[in-house]
Amino acid sequence: MFKRSKGFWLRVTNGMAMGELWNQFQTDARVSYRLYSQEVDTQRKPGTGRAKHFFRLVRLFFWAIVEKLTPARRVLLIAALVMMAMNANISWSTGGHHGNTSLYLGPFSVGTWGELLLLTVLILEVTDRVVMKRDLQIAKEIQSWLLPPVPPAVPQLEIAFTTRPANTVAGDYYDVFLRPGSHLPGGAYLIAIADVAGKSVPAAMLMATYQASLKTLAATASTLTELVSNMNNYACGNSQGGRRFTTTFLAEYDPASRKLTYVNAGHNAPLLRRKNGNIERLTEGGLPLGIIEGAPYASDSTTIQTGDWLAIFTDGVTEAENTKAQEYGEERLMAALNANTATTPQALLSGIMIDIDRFAAGAPQHDDITLMLLKAG
């Protein structure tokens, strides 16, 4: 009997300890609250008493939950709550003697029918979640094909990168590849990182269009600014009037001259740490892609010397929050970079991700986290 009970508990909990289960519950509760509270005005109106304000919030949260269901399931849920309330009221009015006072319909009481209806709604919602989770897992696998599994071998550069979606699929993109359409005689490597506005499935779909346009347009003979301008014009046709814009940082690295030419299209400024400790921010560029068709873009260039580090990241890194809503910040990222210049990009990348996890302390993140580190050898 004990073995069966233990086996049942392990199956239910996946072997997680009580502390881990509690932390997971708290995370799920925060995510659910954030989802429903977006549609609820929690501000207390002037002249409204606490009790009235409380019941107003309960009503608003109730409708925020109900409206997430299909109309048929809303009817089932409301019917279940009414039937359970009817049974409770009958018991209450007669002193709580359930055996003599419950209203019966067939073999079950009204309250039991209500509980069965509530269970039915739960099963239907779980079915949807399972189907959606399966589809999202497939989408995640497809999205992983669009991202390089390992960095390429670039002369005089060590590269490491990683991404962590806030949900199952992400709107962040990164890549490093030899550009076939480069105007440079010996060819150049294209370094790309992008962040589509929003997250989850809509952002992931636009990320796929970004990847397709980048690969296609990078194969044409053009300068870096022409490449970015062409990508912007393409993005304007898929950005819903600028609402689904994409910030991006694109750079061409010429191994022969060690020259890095870049365009920053509204993205977080990458941090170039020189060997002597000086920090340079790569800011030259223009607007994010997809806002204004024909927008002008400017480029800048710098030379990468032995011992220099380049950190390229999306805002999910610096805006990672802990349970107190404090952000990880650029200063912590720079501190990690300054303290580990003797190590490899892969080791530093792992250390920064661990540091972000330690800082967040299990708090759910609102944005995808993507980080690329390059070290000149």
Amino acid 104: pLDDT: 63
- DSSP string for 143-184: HHHHS-SS---BTTEEEEEEEE-SSSS-SEEEEEEEETT-SS
pLDDT at 243 over 80: no
SS (H, E, C) 12-56: HHCCCCHHHHHHHHHHHHHHHHHHHHCCCCCCCCCCCCHHHHHHH
Q: What is the pLDDT of residues 120-152, one digit of tens each?
A: 888 888 888 777 777 667 666 776 777 888 999
pLDDT of residue 301: 95
This prediction has a pTM of: 0.72
The residue with tokens 């365009």 is: 263
Domains of the chain (ranges plus CATH)? 2-142 (no CATH), 150-376 (3.60.40.10)
Q: What is the SS3 assignment for 115?
A: helix
Higher-confidence residue of 235 and 242: namely 235
CB 199 within 8 A of CB 166: yes
pLDDT tens by residue, 252-269: 999 989 999 999 999 999
- Helix, strand, or coil (residue 76): helix
Structure tokens belonging to residue 337: 């970079």
CA distance 183 to 216: 16
pLDDT digits (tens, 9 = 90+) for 104-116: 666 667 778 888 8
Residues 307-328: pLDDT tens digits? 999 999 999 999 998 888 899 9
Query: Angle at which helices 18-37 and 50-66 pack, to 10 degrees?
Result: 90
